[in-house]
Structure 1
Amino acid sequence: MKEKQFIFVGWMIDGSGGPIRDHVLLEIENGVITELHDGCGIKNITTDRVTDLSHCTILPPLVDSHLHLFMSGTLDPEIRERQLTADCNELEPVIARHLNYLFSHGVLAVRDGGDRGGCALGYSRRMEASFPVQIKTTGRAWKQKNRYGSLIGRSPLEGESLAEGFIRETDEADWVKLVNSGLNSLKRFGRETAGQFTVEEMTRLVEVAGLQGKKVMVHANGVLPVKEALQAGCHSIEHGFFMGRENIELMAEKNVVWVPTAYTMKAYGENSSAAGGSVDLKVVRKNLEHQLDQMESARQAGVTIALGTDSGSLGVLHGESVVEEMKLLKKAGFSLPEIVQCATCNGARLLGIEEFGLLKKGKPATFLVSRGTSGQLPRKLTYLEDIYIAGNPSPMYRKNPVKTVLR
């Protein structure tokens, strides 16, 4: 049995959405938090050595609940085109690089939203035991023939139902990704596209996927595509631009998780010159403002929001964009504990990860260390002080020697 460890932190955000705690002493045994003491608890500790993080804030690892590992977010059109058409052998080094970016920004779990060749799925199955970022995958998404989504998925065969196609091409993916609308217009505010599948088709898919223990995430923008996905019993709505108040209330009622990916729209505005003249900045700004309004409404309605960035989209970089999405949650009226909850606990629960998401007794002592007060978040998350895994600084991240204080 290992000797107990003690870590004294200045501020702790535990991921629950509750109040920020200051001057907390973590008692750790075999990598698991056994007690959380307030500041006065340090007087009752008999050991002479306590790791001193009193100048830092700790929080659970970040979770990006929607990204695309095969794409880099680069503004270079030639590189983007190449990544869209490359095979898995060429893309695997790209995926590995993105996972390193994510880890360096404290993102220890992700849900990949699909790629045309199922490359992220194949890579994750071979590498899952050798890298600290947990990857939940969808493999190749499902879309309707001649509709949006060919860059990330496939369609049922002629005369084949959606459920039949899924059964025929069952793979080892953790989730099922369904595309049920088109993209948002960057030139016409609020333009909606029709749903790609009927409620009946999606309902049947949810049923057969459930028999394999899989849940269904749905790319959907607009009132009807979102409403139909909710009626079908899908488990998370991705993007959800222009879905409207009624759908927000229905999500709260059905306990469906929403992943808004608002930063994608902000990134289009910031990088409009790289979008080939297809962007009206006034429309992009209105799109973003509308999404932030919806996020505020969802907060008030009690919808569970999990942070997702859609990294790989134009100008949306892996790792860095998590902080940008957190800033937009703040702009939408979320408190710092609520923002951290969306970026940690809510994402971990959505992905079915038990190892982290909350800092509490009985959970692994896996957390991020940010130098400075909690009031400097989320900005300071762009350059972490350290990452602790099971009570110890990660050798993959170490910048400075462990700090201890002798009492």
Structure 2
Amino acid sequence: MKKYLPILRLILSEKSLLFHTIKVRFQGRMSDMKFIDAGWLIDGSGGPVLKNVRIGTEKESIVSINESGFKDPSIKAADLSLCTILPPLVDSHVHLCMSGTVDPFVRKKQLDINFADAKVVISNHIAQHLSHGVLAVRDGGDKYAHSLRYLNECHDIMESPVKIKVSGKAWHKAGRYGGLIGRPPEKNCSLAQAIKNCSDKIDYIKIVNSGLNSLKEFSKETGPQFSIKELSDAVKIAERLGLKVMVHANGKKPVEFALVSGCHSIEHGFFMGDENLGLMAKKNIIWVPTACTMKAYLEHMEKKSVEYDVTCMNLEHQLKQIENARKYGVTVALGTDSGSTGVHHGLAVKEELNLLITAGYSVPEAVKCATFNGAELLGINEFGHIARGEPATFIAIEGMPSDIPSSLSSIKAIFINGRIRYSDQAKSKDYCAWD
């Protein structure tokens, strides 16, 4: 936690840099406008990269984006000419109270962590996300609902700008996988009734509808945990409560059942097949592939083993599905499953972005998955797309777009509603800032 304290201290330092505010007369009144000269802009739409862009802001909003370069030397602007500006990142699938440690003893122990210890762990993980430009996460559940309690009791958005969306405890079938992140409905109680009876103030319903992926037998599938009717009834109840449903599902049938039932996102989706991808595109259901989980396993396995070979094939198959999802027009949102073995909070966003690019997405397309699509999935309106009239909320990273995702470890500044909330060069004479 200590190494992230400098970041957290700077978050509230809106005057950490010197900014040249210019006064311009606008429709008969004096207006404070601020400008940034950016080397490159990725706006989150998936469209082409813009080069040598001057961004103008007023109060909390973007009022101009000049694509013709820095032509007016009389205007003093924040110099980010060696940086790329993009929307804040969104990790659509994390487990905040779990770390990515590969130590089996620690992994087992953290499953039964008490809240006093969990809130320290969660705070640390939020800081790790922030240090990589992630300003929103969606938590996929833990069996004690520590992340939900943390959000309600400990999280102060004024101190940490990272938005947290939570599902509390996930729902799984009795006797099936899911105990480490949730609980089954009570005996003689349907899934829909259990959801209706639950009084937790959550943002999402999380349902587990399959098992885990085998690391010993390639493409091995488990059966659905719930029937189409059970899932459909659950989705209807959730929608009446104003909640979306995220479904953990791997394999053809578990994914098909979730899609037919009208869920709002598929989590993981390994080995679901092209027919499900087509259905997903048709029904406009979002996919969160979490491919980096397999890559993380590979990095800690004995190379000359069955597990290593199977995991390699698992990853290759998922990358092919991601490639096909792009062709079908499936909306993909970046999610990492951070907290899984070897999948570290914040850092894993770089890994997942790289895998999207490996699967055939251009850098702007991959960034859209990690920004606009994630913000849409989480119901966030404050950021996701950089355009005139939108909030002046974005991040600046060192280097060119071609340096992404490795450059995500070099966050230059974070701007929120027209104000700097973090900069790594608070005293740089070459850098201008707000206020």
TM bin (shorter chain): over 0.9
Report 1:162-177 matches (<5 A). 162-177=191-206
**Structure 1, 248-257 or 160-169: larger mean CA deviation:** 160-169
1:107 aligns with 2:134: yes
Conserved 8 A contact 1:187-1:278: no
Between the aligned partners of 2:112 and 2:331, the Cα distance in structure 1 is 35
Partner of 1:8: 37
Select 2:87's aligned residue among 44, 55, 60: 60
Partner of 2:320: 293
**Deviations 1:105-127 (CA, angstroms, capped at 9, x unpaired):** 10000000000011101111231
Conserved 8 A contact 1:27-1:34: yes
1:378 aligns with 2:409: no
Partner of 1:316: 343
Between the aligned partners of 1:128 and 1:301, the Cα distance in structure 2 is 40
Partner of 1:340: 367
Between the aligned partners of 2:396 and 2:385, the Cα distance in structure 1 is 14
Partner of 1:261: 290
| CA positional deviation for 1:374 | 1.4
Partner of 2:157: 129
| CA positional deviation for 1:401 | 3.2
Between the aligned partners of 1:358 and 1:232, the Cα distance in structure 2 is 30
**Deviations 1:210-241 (CA, angstroms, capped at 9, x unpaired):** 11110000000000000000011000000000
Q: Secondary structure at the match of 1:201?
A: helix
| CA positional deviation for 1:283 | 0.3
Report 1:5-404 matches (<5 A). 5-40=34-69, 42-43=71-72, 47=75, 49-126=76-153, 127-130=155-158, 131-272=160-301, 280-395=307-422, 397-401=423-427, 403-404=430-431
**Structure 1, 365-374 or 109-118: larger mean CA deviation:** 365-374
**Deviations 1:248-294 (CA, angstroms, capped at 9, x unpaired):** 000000000000000001101111269xx996111000000000000
Q: Secondary structure at the match of 1:103?
A: helix
Between the aligned partners of 2:382 and 2:70, the Cα distance in structure 1 is 26
Q: Secondary structure at the match of 1:3?
A: strand
| CA positional deviation for 1:2 | 6.3
- CA RMSD across the alignment: 1.7
**Structure 1, 106-115 or 156-165: larger mean CA deviation:** 156-165
Conserved 8 A contact 2:139-2:165: yes
TM-score normalized by structure 2? 0.89
Give the fraction of aligned pairs with identical amino acids, expressed as a percent: 50
| CA positional deviation for 1:148 | 0.2
Distance 1:376 1:175, change over 3 A: same
**Structure 1, 79-88 or 184-193: larger mean CA deviation:** 79-88
Q: Secondary structure at the match of 1:283?
A: helix
Matched residue type, 2:424: R
Q: Secondary structure at the match of 1:22?
A: strand
Q: Secondary structure at the match of 2:98?
A: coil
Between the aligned partners of 1:374 and 1:295, the Cα distance in structure 2 is 21
Matched residue type, 2:360: G
Conserved 8 A contact 2:52-2:70: no
Conserved 8 A contact 2:333-2:374: yes
Q: How many residues align?
A: 400
Between the aligned partners of 2:416 and 2:125, the Cα distance in structure 1 is 20
Between the aligned partners of 1:128 and 1:272, the Cα distance in structure 2 is 39
Between the aligned partners of 1:361 and 1:401, the Cα distance in structure 2 is 30
TM-score normalized by structure 1? 0.95
Q: Unaligned stretches of 5+ in structure 2? A: 1-29
| CA positional deviation for 1:162 | 0.4
| CA positional deviation for 1:46 | 5.3
Between the aligned partners of 2:71 and 2:367, the Cα distance in structure 1 is 27
Conserved 8 A contact 2:97-2:142: yes
Conserved 8 A contact 2:170-2:208: yes
Between the aligned partners of 1:386 and 1:14, the Cα distance in structure 2 is 16
Between the aligned partners of 1:64 and 1:71, the Cα distance in structure 2 is 15
Conserved 8 A contact 1:128-1:134: no
Between the aligned partners of 2:147 and 2:425, the Cα distance in structure 1 is 29
Q: Secondary structure at the match of 2:259?
A: helix
Between the aligned partners of 2:69 and 2:213, the Cα distance in structure 1 is 53
| CA positional deviation for 1:193 | 0.1
Q: Unaligned stretches of 5+ in structure 1? A: none
| CA positional deviation for 1:209 | 0.7
